[in-house]
Amino acid sequence: MGNASEKNTLYPNERNPQPEQRHDSSLKGAFVSVLLLGGFIALTWFGVFALFLARN
Amino acid sequence: MHLHRLEKIWLGIGFSMLCLFLLVLGIMSLTMGMAPPGGHHQSIDPAKVRETAPFDKPMLKKIGENEYEAVFLAYAFGYEPHKMEVPAGATVHFIITSPDVVHGFEIPGTNVNTMVLPGEVSHVTHTFDTPGEYLILCNEYCGAGHEYMMTTIIVK
């Protein structure tokens, strides 16, 4: 059964519950990576498109 | 839902790229007719190809001012007609079928690249602006002689 004293006593390593500090991990590295990938996609797309137009 | 600022930027870039690609391809294929071969659905009995017109006489036919119709047969392992000559600037409408297995019909250096399926007729058009000798290659494995399957088209 639930111990009535659990509600009243806080163990030493517990803090009062408070909203956690949110610190977002940096997305800058991911952003640069996807920009490079997007650049590659765009470059190769236009490259193949240029080939298509040239061979028409 | 919370989106990070960089996420919003990336989503914007990705979405715009997609819209741009679709717009270019859509305009080209719907208004300028620059699309991959397809749309002309024409069936044929593969067993009777050599008796069905126009494939009983594969040849080049002039249908207009510098416009030609080239009826081809892709068989194992060659193409009929064996030699073709057109003047520079000619627009050639290729009409191809196969009496046996799947073949390919590709002119390297151009956008002519279509599969030739028994039972179906392939339609592809090209304008030959530059004179020279062009290779017509089979790029679909069709059997023991596949690597020798080719012919040429001479543009004067």
Does B94 share its domain with B143? yes
Does B83 share its domain with B14? no
* Tens-digit pLDDT profile for residues B61-89: 999 999 999 999 999 899 999 889 999 99
Residue A17 distance to chain B (closest CA, Å): 24
Residue ranges making up the domain that contains B21: 1-35
Burial of B82 (0-12, 13-18, 19+ CB in 10 A): exposed
**pLDDT the model gives residue A4:** 52
Sheet strand arrangement including B103-106: B83-86, B150-155, B132-137, B103-106, B113-116
Q: How confident is the model at residue B105 (pLDDT cuts 50, 70, 90)?
A: very high
Identify the residue among B21, B25, B125 best suited for mutation to test binding to A, counting A beta carbons within 10 A and taking the highest. B21
pTM recorded for the entire structure: 0.77
Does B30 share its domain with B55? no
Identify the residue among B18, B22, B111, B135 best suited for mutation to test binding to A, counting A beta carbons within 10 A and taking the highest. B111
Q: What is the CATH number of the domain that holds B130?
A: 2.60.40.420
* Tens-digit pLDDT profile for residues B2-56: 888 999 999 999 999 999 999 999 998 888 877 776 666 788 898 888 888 889 8
Higher-scoring residue by pLDDT: B29, A39: A39
- Please indicate, yes or no, if residue B41 is contained in any of the structural domains: no
B88 DSSP assignment: T
Does B28 share its domain with B64? no
Does B76 share its domain with B9? no
| Contact assignment for A41 to B110 by CB distance below 8 Å | no
- Please indicate, yes or no, if residue B40 is contained in any of the structural domains: no
Residues 6+ apart with CB under 8 A from B90: B66, B67, B68, B127, B128, B155
Q: How confident is the model at residue A16 (pLDDT cuts 50, 70, 90)?
A: low
Does B113 share its domain with B50? yes
Q: Is A41 on the interface with B (CB under 8 A)?
A: yes
Please report the ipTM that was assigned to this predicted complex.
Answer: 0.77
CB contact residues (below 8 A), chain B span 16-75, against chain A: 17, 21, 24, 34
| Contact assignment for A38 to B14 by CB distance below 8 Å | yes
**pLDDT the model gives residue B42:** 84
**pLDDT the model gives residue A25:** 80
Residues 6+ apart with CB under 8 A from A37: none
Does B113 share its domain with B147? yes
Q: Is A24 on the interface with B (CB under 8 A)?
A: yes
Bridge pairing between strands B132-137 and B150-155: antiparallel
| Contact assignment for B110 to A38 by CB distance below 8 Å | no
- Report the number of distinct structural domains present in chain B: 2
Burial of B80 (0-12, 13-18, 19+ CB in 10 A): middle
